Amino acid sequence: MAFQLAGSAPEIYETVMVPLWFGRWAEALMELLALRPGENVLDVACGTGVTTRMSRDMVAPGGTVTGLDVNAAMIAKAKSLAVGQDIEWLERDASDSGLPSGSVDVVMSQHGYHYFPDKPAALAESRRVLAPGGRMGLSIWDGHSPYTRAVCKAVERHISPEIASKQRAQRQTPSADELSAQLGEAGFSEVRIVRQELSIDVPAARVFVPLHLGSMPIADAFDALPDDRKAALIEDVETEMAPYERGDRLVYPDAVHVALGHR
């Protein structure tokens, strides 16, 4: 399974999803990792680079930051947003960074781990590139939120069960116990899992749903719907999310698990 975006999706992802979703989770992850000036950081599955750019500011002066992603469109967007910043960008798989062994102090990954087709290989690669005593932190969704459940249900009804399954897969993540076991089996020490919860505040469904789905791998399937079917899909989400309406906004809880470990 891979998170592949094409066309205008990376642009929508950066301008809509990053400020409303991923930027906030990036800040929460940064608090746990507590990066320091002079550290060398590898950001795996960096997407459009929100955590990568944050890291650059935190490790200066003296530190280095590398952003890695298998998606060419995401890397291209990340580069365009970081012009003039001293960041290295790698279009490579998480299990084959090409970096020297023991060359980084911190490996991090935000919402990327559950997409890796070979998780043991990706964890082994992360541990290989870490210096002795180096640390890793990866965050993934703790299952579905009220909003993502509503969207997937509407997608299944108005597009297809197959497309809904593709959308649901983004939240079908290892449990806290599974994460802990996987890091332990990969040789990480001092493993702990931290659950973080945020109150997510996004525009009303009629505004947000088209933007959200337009930034996802299923964007083409949503865009291909006739206007009346799109409207019906959005109306279903509005109905499901009525308890979370606050004026012209949707405010609902969401959560991630952050897996932390040391080399």
The sign of the torsion formed by the CA atoms of 17, 244, 148, 160 equals negative
Mean pLDDT of all residues belonging to the chain: 92
Q: Is the pLDDT of residue 11 over 80?
A: no
Instruction: Specify the higher pLDDT residue, 25 or 104.
Output: 104
The Cα–Cα gap between 1 and 193 comes to: 23
Mean pLDDT, residues 27-41: 94
Query: Which amino acid is it at 257?
Result: H
Condensed to tens digits (0 to 9), the pLDDT of residues 197-207 reads 999 999 999 99
**Residue 10's pLDDT band (cuts 50, 70, 90):** low
**What tens digit of pLDDT does each residue of 151-210 get?**
999 999 999 999 999 999 989 999 999 999 999 999 999 999 999 999 999 999 999 999
pLDDT given for residue 8 in this prediction:
58
% of the chain surpassing 90 pLDDT = 82
Domain ranges of the chain: 9-262
Q: What is the pLDDT of residue 20?
A: 74
Residues in the chain: 263
Q: Is the dihedral of CA 257, 47, 89, 5 positive or negative?
A: positive
Q: Is the model's pLDDT at 245 over the cut of 80?
A: yes
Distance, C-alpha 84 to centroid of its chain: 24
> Can you give the pLDDT at residue 9?
60
Examine the pLDDT at 118 and tell me if it is beyond 70: yes
* Strand duo 249-262 + 130-141: pairing: antiparallel
Whether residue 10 is preceded by a cis peptide bond, meaning omega within 30 degrees of 0, is no
Residue 216's pLDDT band (boundaries 50, 70, 90)?
confident
Q: Rounded distance, CA 87 to CA 89, Å?
A: 6
What pTM was computed for the model?
0.88
Which homologous superfamily does the CATH classification assign to the domain defined by 9-262?
Vaccinia Virus protein VP39 (3.40.50.150)
Task: State the amino acid at position 181 in one-letter form.
Answer: A
Which one-letter DSSP state was computed for residue 39? -
